[in-house]
Structure 1
Amino acid sequence: MTEKRPVLVLTEADDITADMVITELNRRDVPVVRFNPADIGEDLVISARFGTCPALVVGQVRTPSRTADVAQVRSVYWRRPEWPTFPHLPADDSRFAAAQVRHGLGGTLYALGDPLWVNHPLRVAAADYKPAQLALARRLGFAIPPTLVTNDPDEAREFVHAQGQAISKTLRWTPYTRDGVPVTGWADPVTAAEIDDSVRVAPHLFQARVDKVADVRVLIAGRHTFAVRIDSDLLDWRKDYSALTYTVQHLPDRVARGLHACLNRLDLVSGSFDLAVDRTGDYWWLELNPNGQWGWLETETDLPMAAAFADLLAQGDPR
């Protein structure tokens, strides 16, 4: 079945958040073609031609049940796609084949001129650097915790000691296992005495600890802004979701405007922001996740987040 003006949804097989948005699109009778780049082969076929007609690109993306005319795509929801790794091939062949998929399938999608991207992966990649986020946040008038990025252990010890209370956190999350067990990086307290020469191996992020009373997760989808206050006794609330309580929050206008301005500067139409509120009620910027999770927040608060994404993707207009 060739869909007319479909929304492309690129994500992994088990993605409850994407399911929520697709359900809302179905309610609007908006055709959806969902696929995962890792399924390239019999379950996913790309065929695109360039320079053969007045259109910049013509062709199709085909799955076993749906076909999308690439010239008719109205929007692309870039959720959590997985790229193939070809483990059955020799290492060099695997790397070669994976690169061809990224540049063939990905490159064809990037060549499409008209669709709205939520969000474009190249814009996501550019926005995903924490040091650059901090500089932009400061430029936009947000309070940011004093932060040091360094692989100099002496400077790290001096900085941490000067802050009184400090934390460390990863500059970028990556899949990681230890003794075969998946682990993740949290924002954790750190003291000067804990810093040793292993810091020299790679840059680390050290930051003054905000004397917060609550966290706030803010989701923006086009014109829609959803803010949820997260109360807990945790430094990093992600460590224990069962310990959290949620309250719908109204952001001060200047904070909301600043977050929208941030997305505009980064050429994004959606993003999940982590803020902290201190004892005086001031908001502190912590970080931006250009493609953050939000599905559980809709379940907890009944905020119409999926509907906002569906509206955005159906209209193909971020503003």
Structure 2
Amino acid sequence: MESTGQRPDPRALIQEEHVSEQNSTERQRQERAEFVDAFNKRAWQPGERPRQRLRFLAGGIAVIVAAGVAYGAGVLDHYDHRKAAKNRERELALTARAGQAPTPAPTSPYAMPWGTTTPSSKPPASPALPAPKPAEPGTKEKKRTVFKAESKGGRRPAGPKFSTARDLLLMNVVTGKCADVPGNGDGTMNGPVVQHTCRATAQDNQRWDLVVRKNGAGPNGADLFTIRNSKDGLCFDLRGSGAVDRVTEWRCASGGNQLWYLDEKHSGEFWIRDSGDGGKCLDVEGARAEDASLTAWPCDPKDDHLWVLKPAN
């Protein structure tokens, strides 16, 4: 006896196929989600974060180093910019005074109009004077006057109170150059005093004598002294009494415009200050320039006012 089977229901087959497609789509979605989750976990593993922090730290250090280099460059340029501004102020003061009628300086009976020119390079020595006639028989040759207080000369000053000292180089701490008279010979009356590369040799004219004139008569009991060139015998002298005073050479005297005192700021480093006119400091007009004029200028710890007194021998 033959058996007859039932035909499958078409709607059941369609429904079963639809469920199979849905299951396949769900599996694909889950696989994509698992892949993304695995990628995220790999990107934020503990071993990776320190490397990122190191990269951030390295970048920060680079920024700090760059800022430090920029700051250092600014510090190196600061001095020259400040000197340029001061020189402009100085030029205005000199220009204003140049337009006034010349008047004698009140502090010195022999005051004369001071020079306004400064050589740009060390000029040749002054023309030699005629040789002196030989002394006649039976006569003695005249010797240069030497003060009793300086006959032997002391060591370089160790403070504001000292004994007369001879043959010193006056070296500026900032510029590294020494007080000098143009040329290699004697200076001239009312001639400029400048700075130049230091030369301790006696053939040049950079040696100076600090001759004590008034013991303890300066501020805080400091000694007052004149600054005399060891070669030509002329002294530092200030011409004028304005905002800026140029230092020139003149016959040595004990007047107020030739007297100076030491104001120690560091061990062995001094402000050399004028005893009158507000106690101005010995100053360099043209920063580091060769043959820049020396002047008296209001004291400033940020300026080139520190000097060292060095024995030439």
TM-score, normalized by length of structure 1? 0.21
TM-score, normalized by length of structure 2? 0.21
Higher relative contact order (CA 8 A, sep 6+): 1
